[in-house]
């Protein structure tokens, strides 16, 4: 959420899936999520039942080296409970989807209200061919499965 753009900084932390993007991330997840902390502060300050608070990560017309799969997150307050809804244009079912659901949950924990529900609408859900056998093993309760990232 701090908007780190240097791929090298991620590599130093053991995260190398951004390597294919170049040395600096341009309008990608880290930079889009810079918008999140001020939005969360506004929600916590206002807590208005009649308002939909929206984090839009979709088309900006700006150059990008990694268009976000998660395009829109809406925070709505219903009877003093948080209703979180999101739209995701693309989702790798065995790699990204579990992490995306968890990230939405983590966002919800930043709001000073009880969570009522999370709804995630998915435009495209897929498993890459090179991970089909590993996915079958995971579904058969093998917890030692390692997936290949599909980037490039």
Dmax (CA) for the chain in angstroms is: 48
Confirm if 7 and 19 have CB atoms less than 8 A apart. Answer: yes
Token pair 């502060």: residue: 41
Annotated active-site residue in 7, 40, 57, 69: 69
Known catalytic residue at 21: no
Question: Cα separation of 140 and 69, whole Å?
Answer: 28
Cα-based distances in Å from 1 to 32, 128, 143: 8, 28, 29
Strands 52-56 and 70-78: antiparallel
The DSSP 8-state label assigned to residue 116 in this structure reads E
SS3 65: coil
Catalytic annotation, residues? 69
């Amino acid at each position: 959420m701090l908007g780190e753009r240097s791929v090298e900084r991620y590599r130093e932390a053991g995260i190398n899936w951004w390597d294919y993007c170049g040395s600096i991330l341009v309008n990608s997840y880290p930079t889009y999520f810079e918008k999140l902390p001020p939005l969360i502060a506004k929600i916590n300050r206002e807590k208005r039942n009649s308002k939909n608070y929206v984090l839009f990560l979709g088309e900006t017309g700006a150059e990008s080296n990694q268009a976000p799969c998660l395009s829109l997150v809406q925070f709505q307050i219903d009877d003093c409970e948080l209703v979180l809804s999101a739209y995701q244009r693309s989702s790798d079912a065995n790699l990204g989807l579990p992490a995306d659901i968890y990230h939405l949950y983590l966002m919800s924990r930043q709001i000073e209200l009880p969570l009522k529900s999370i709804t995630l609408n998915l435009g495209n859900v897929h498993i890459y061919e090179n991970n089909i056998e590993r996915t079958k093993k995971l579904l058969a309760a093998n917890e030692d499965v390692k997936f290949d990232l599909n980037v490039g």
